[in-house]
Amino acid sequence: MATAETLTRTTVSHWIDGKPQPATSGRSGAVMNPATGEMIAEVGFASAADVDRAVASAKAASVQWRATALSRRAEIMFAFRDLIAHNRQRIAEIVSTENGKTLSDALGEAARGVENVEFACGVPHLLKGGYTEQASRGVDVYQIRQPLGVVAGITPFNFPAMVPLWMLANAIACGNAFLLKPSEKDPSASVLIAQLAKEAGVPDGVLNLVHGDKVAVDRILDHPDIKAVSFVGSTPVAKYIYETATRNGKRVQALGGAKNHMLVLPDADINMAADAAVSAGYGAAGERCMAISVVVAVGSVADPLIEAIRERVARIKVGSGLDPSSEMGPLITREHRDRVASHLDTASAEGATVAIDGRRDPTTRQNGFFLGPSLIDNAKPGMKCYDQEIFGPVLSVVRVNTYAEAIRLINENPFGNGTAIFTQNGGAARQFQFDVEVGMVGVNVPIPVPVAYYSFGGWKSSLFGDLHMYGPEGVQFYTRAKVVTSRWPDPSASKVDLGFPQVR
Ligand code: NAD
């Protein structure tokens, strides 16, 4: 397994049956250090046969695991939680090295992942069903929730530790065996997580890991022994995953891309709004699904807000994520950086104003995949910079005259992941919460990622499926309900009754 110290031309392996196992496809991908532009490891891609091997191992392990006492499963989750917390620096270093985000951001990611495992430690309580005594005379009815069997998760590059934990903590605690297919761009954090799960007492096969691309994903989507698929990634792939896996009879939650609007009303505190826009727009180089990508400035607030953003951007230090003085790291690949930067040209051509051009940042002359923070003013629907998810450090400002215009803009956008309002008026914030067609809403909070005991999910093209991820809806997703109706009558009173059972 690759660690921060040994990430030099190592090969990242699958993790099946509690040990590293090589890929058999003969195909592999390069794992890059985005801060230096160098290849640091190779990851073997799974063949369909590798996926089959992992599923067979998971299926066998799931039989004993679902029969394991809840108190024992909780005990293992507690140990897992402690091991992840204890190893958070190691996890963060791996994430920062392969993904590029700053170490402090990666530590934050690890901390949010720990919270998901903490939630799953409460599994004995979470799986408590309901019981109705005397539903009819001498008849009791109760509901229990049982695991699905083998379930799978497919995760994106931008949270290589947290998103796997969003899924696997609840899935395993509920008694399932989990197969993870992490992003091939930064696969090593998930190997460490699997190793820590084993150390915590998760039996071999209950957590398996295969690396790879569409070949592995497609086998997951059509494997008959996989009962449910959780996905987080871009909208086109989310839609494909949802359509394919549901057609194959699986339960699916597929979280997609985003275009998160931050609405700033004229009464907002300009400095607070600018701090929030800069933090949420450029943190993690804009590679967060909950990043603010559009500031909707109402009326007179636009000019002073842009000025305040400009002042703050000028002070942002871009550099390697492992350098403690860096506030913003590189993007994930050279191609992605170039695609993000190309939006600045397109925006000008389409009539918007490039107010800050991140291509002028000195780091762009280095080998890493850097782009400085950029700001586009006068963006509008119909322009590429507004219509597409950019997923980089490019913040757009749309100027509108009224709240009504702003809410129409946000509700007409096909994405509905996160949004925020900045105002000092409680009534306006309450109205926004009521009106807005978005799944996660912040009031003076720019990145409203729900805590682990709520659930995470957007609306519209940001989520395909009914149930949101982690928290109570995660438990629902990874279990199915069974309702039992029982009676213990005196057999001597038994008789034939062809009528439909009625409550008496
Ligand atoms: P991606 O869709 O390219 O990849 C996600 C996963 O799908 C990876 O494991 C990848 O190997 C696999 N994949 C990619 N192309 C595939 C294909 N054609 N067929 C089958 N599998 C395929 O996403 P990414 O670039 O890794 O991550 C960034 C995207 O994820 C952004 O759009 C971001 O908004 C989104 N995201 C959303 C959330 C959310 O909660 N809604 C959270 C994080 C990231």
> Do both 162 and 307 map to the same domain?
no
| pLDDT above 50 for 256 | yes
- Of 45, 157, 339, 394, the residue with max ligand 1 atoms within 8 A of its CB, to mutate for a pocket test, comes to 157
- The angle formed by the CA atoms of residues 382, 387 and 388, to the nearest 5 degrees, is 145
CA distances from 152 to 72, 212, 219, 335, 467 (A): 23, 14, 11, 29, 15
Is 158 contained in some domain?
A: yes
- Of 43, 234, 391, 460, the residue with max ligand 1 atoms within 8 A of its CB, to mutate for a pocket test, comes to 234
Ligand 1 pocket test target in 12, 31, 51, 183 with most atoms within 8 Å of CB: 183
Tell me the residue range of the domain where 110 lies: 4-256+462-483
Instruction: Determine the pLDDT at residue 113.
Output: 98
Confidence of residue 364 (pLDDT cuts 50, 70, 90): very high
Atom of ligand 1 nearest to the CA of 154: 9
Query: Ligand 1: residues within 6 Å at CB?
Result: 154-159, 181, 183-184, 213-214, 217, 232-234, 237, 240, 255-258, 289, 389, 391, 417, 458, 462
Mean pLDDT of 259-273: 98
236/333 same-domain check: no
For residues 369 and 336, the answer to whether their CB atoms sit within 8 Å is: yes
Shared-domain flag, residues 132 and 183: yes
CA dist 495 and 475 (Å) reads: 42
Q: Provide mean pLDDT across the span 250-278.
A: 98
Query: Residue 450 falls within a domain, yes or no?
Result: no
In this prediction, residues 36-48 reach a mean pLDDT of 97
CA of 142 to the centre of ligand 1 (A): 40
User: Count of residues for the chain?
Assistant: 504
Q: Has residue 451 been placed in a domain? A: no
Check whether 394 has a pLDDT greater than 80. Answer: yes
Residue 148 has pLDDT above 60, yes or no: yes
Could you tell me the distance, in angstroms and rounded to a whole number, from the CA of residue 347 to the centre of ligand 1?
25
- Percent with pLDDT over 90 in the chain: 96
Pick the closest to residue 159 from 200, 116, 199, 121 (CA basis): 116
Residue ID of nearest Cα to ligand 1 atom 17: 214
Compute the distance from residue 257 Cα to the ligand 1 centre, in Å: 8
Q: Which whole number is the average pLDDT over 251-277?
A: 98
Domain match, 159 and 286 both: no
Q: Does 281 share its domain with 374?
A: yes
Starting at the earlier edge strand, list the strands of the sheet with 10-12: 10-12, 38-44, 28-33
- 475 lies in a domain? yes
Tens digits of per-residue pLDDT, 433-468? 999 999 999 999 999 999 999 999 999 999 999 999
pLDDT at 239 (0 to 100): 98
Distance 331 CA to ligand 1 centre (A): 15
Q: Please indicate, yes or no, if residue 456 is contained in any of the structural domains.
A: no
Question: Domain containing 222 — which CATH number?
Answer: 3.40.605.10
Closest ligand 1 atom to the C-alpha of 257? 34
Residue 501 confidence class, pLDDT cut points 50, 70, 90: confident
Q: For residue 436, how far is its CA from the centre of ligand 1 (angstroms)?
A: 26
What is the best residue among 159, 223, 237, 447 to mutate for testing ligand 1's pocket, by most ligand atoms within 8 Å of CB? 237
In a domain, 226, yes or no: yes
Nearest CA to ligand 1 atom 24: 156
Instruction: Indicate which CATH number applies to the domain containing 389.
Output: 3.40.309.10
Quick one: pLDDT at residue 503? 72
Q: Residue 406 falls within a domain, yes or no? A: yes
Q: Are residues 242 and 276 in the same domain?
A: no
Give the Å distance between the CA of 238 and the centre of ligand 1: 7
Nearest CA to ligand 1 atom 22: 214
Domain total of the chain: 2
What is the tens place of the pLDDT at every residue in 304-353? Answer: 999 999 999 999 999 999 999 999 999 999 999 999 999 999 999 999 99
Residue of minimum CA distance from atom 16 in ligand 1: 214
Q: What is the reported pLDDT for 7?
A: 45
pLDDT (tens digit per residue) in 205-222: 999 999 999 999 999 999
One domain for residues 292 and 238? no
- The residues annotated as belonging to the active site are 289
DSSP sequence for 77-145: HHHHHHHHHHTHHHHHHHHHHHH---HHHHHHHHHHHHHHHHHHTTHHHHT--EEEEEEETTEEEEEEE
CA proximity to 29, closest of 329, 320, 233, 332: 332
In the predicted structure, residue 1 carries a pLDDT above the cut 90: no
**Residue 124 pLDDT grade (very low, low, confident, very high; cuts 50, 70, 90):** very high
| Mean pLDDT of the chain, nearest integer | 97
Alpha carbons 171 and 475: distance in angstroms, whole number: 7
Gap between the Cα atoms of 282 and 276, Å rounded: 10
Is the domain of 385 the same as that of 291? yes
Question: Which atom of ligand 1 is found nearest the CA of 159?
Answer: 43
CA 127 to ligand 1 center in whole angstroms: 30
Question: Would 452 be classed as within a structural domain?
Answer: no
- Residues 296 and 150 grouped into a single domain: no
Distance CA 293, CA 350 (A): 18
C-alpha torsion sign, points 152, 157, 163, 164: positive
Examine the domain organization and report whether 291 and 426 are in the same domain: yes
Based on the fold, state whether residues 179 and 275 are members of the same structural domain: no
Mean pLDDT, to the nearest integer, of 12-37?
A: 97
Report the nearest-CA residue for atom 40 of ligand 1. 255
Can you tell me which residue has the tokens 């019981």? 131
Q: Which ligand 1 atom is the nearest neighbour of the CA of 389?
A: 32
> Of 225, 198, 206, 194, whose CA–CA distance to 64 is shortest?
206
Which ligand 1 atom lies nearest to the CA of residue 469? 40
Q: What does residue 399 show for φ and ψ, rounded to 5 degrees?
A: -95, 130
Q: 9: pLDDT confidence band, cut at 50, 70 and 90?
A: low
Residues 277 and 354 occupy one common structural domain: yes
> What is the whole-number distance in angstroms between the Cα of residue 254 and the centre of ligand 1?
10
The neighbouring-strand residues paired with 152 are 179, 229
